[in-house]
């Protein structure tokens, strides 16, 4: 009986080895190499500014300052721009910026840009690679009501722009729901 058990065990082992060998005949391995290229997000802030006209501007006048963004990258991007205005007297004291006006372009007024409520103005549609945004502003002016404190004053309009990828980054609120904006405040 012991011989029968051993013989049966050996037969079972032999059958198992035979099955494994048969299974091995039907397997194969292979390799594949895939190359994934990654695009980039890169913008350039463009200002068309009449520097000569900006010298000695009088109350009630305006000068050309056209601001827009170009996408130098290969991927479409969400874009935002911040405009900060400062004024100082000839003696260097800070002045109210109320008399300084930024004239928004027709395209900005037509809804191409939206105020995010956080100090930034957002381009409503993604900016494709190689393309330029509609202008945000096209002039800076000094209101006719600017008083004598503005004689010899210096007005500074600082413009900053940021971009983040728009593909797979639009949340439920379009550009206002996009993630990845920099919180950096010192852009000097």
pLDDT in tens, 12-71: 666 665 555 555 455 666 666 765 656 688 999 999 998 888 888 889 999 999 999 999
Residues 72 and 42 sit within 8 Å (Cβ to Cβ): yes
By residue range, what is the domain housing residue 61? 43-176
Q: What is the pLDDT of residue 47?
A: 93
Percent of the chain residues topping a pLDDT of 70? 77
Say yes or no to pLDDT of 11 above 70. no
CATH code for the domain of 142: 2.60.40
Please indicate, yes or no, if residue 2 is contained in any of the structural domains. Answer: no
Q: CB within 8 A of 179, min separation 6: which ones?
A: 164, 169, 171
CA-derived radius of gyration, the chain:
33
Residue 23 belongs to some domain of the structure = no
Helices marked H in 39-177: 106-107
Residues counted in the chain: 188
Whole-angstrom distance, CA of residue 103 vs CA of residue 124: 19
pLDDT of 102 > 70? The answer is yes
State the CB neighbour count (10 A cutoff) for residue 112: 18
Residue 22 belongs to a domain: no
Confidence band of 183 (pLDDT split at 50, 70, 90)? confident
Number of domains in the chain: 1
In this predicted structure, the answer to whether residue 187 has a pLDDT above a threshold of 80 is no
């Amino acid at each position: 009986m012991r011989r029968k058990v051993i013989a049966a065990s050996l037969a079972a082992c032999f059958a198992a080895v035979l099955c494994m060998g048969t299974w091995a005949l039907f397997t194969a391995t292979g390799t594949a190499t895939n190359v994934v290229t990654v695009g980039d997000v890169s913008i350039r802030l463009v200002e068309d500014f009449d520097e000569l006209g900006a010298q000695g501007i009088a109350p009630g006048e305006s000068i050309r300052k056209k601001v827009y963004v170009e996408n130098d990258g290969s991927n479409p991007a969400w874009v935002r721009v911040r405009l900060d205005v400062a004024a100082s007297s000839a003696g260097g004291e800070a002045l109210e910026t109320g008399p300084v006006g930024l004239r928004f372009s027709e395209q900005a007024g037509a809804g191409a840009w939206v105020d995010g409520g956080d100090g930034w103005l957002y381009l409503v549609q993604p900016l494709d690679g190689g393309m330029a945004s509609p202008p945000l502003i096209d002039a800076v002016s000094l209101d006719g009501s600017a008083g004598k404190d503005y004689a010899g004053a210096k007005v500074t309009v600082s413009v900053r722009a940021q971009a983040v990828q728009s593909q797979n980054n639009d949340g439920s609120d379009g550009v206002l729901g996009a993630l990845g904006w920099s919180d950096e405040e010192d852009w000097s």
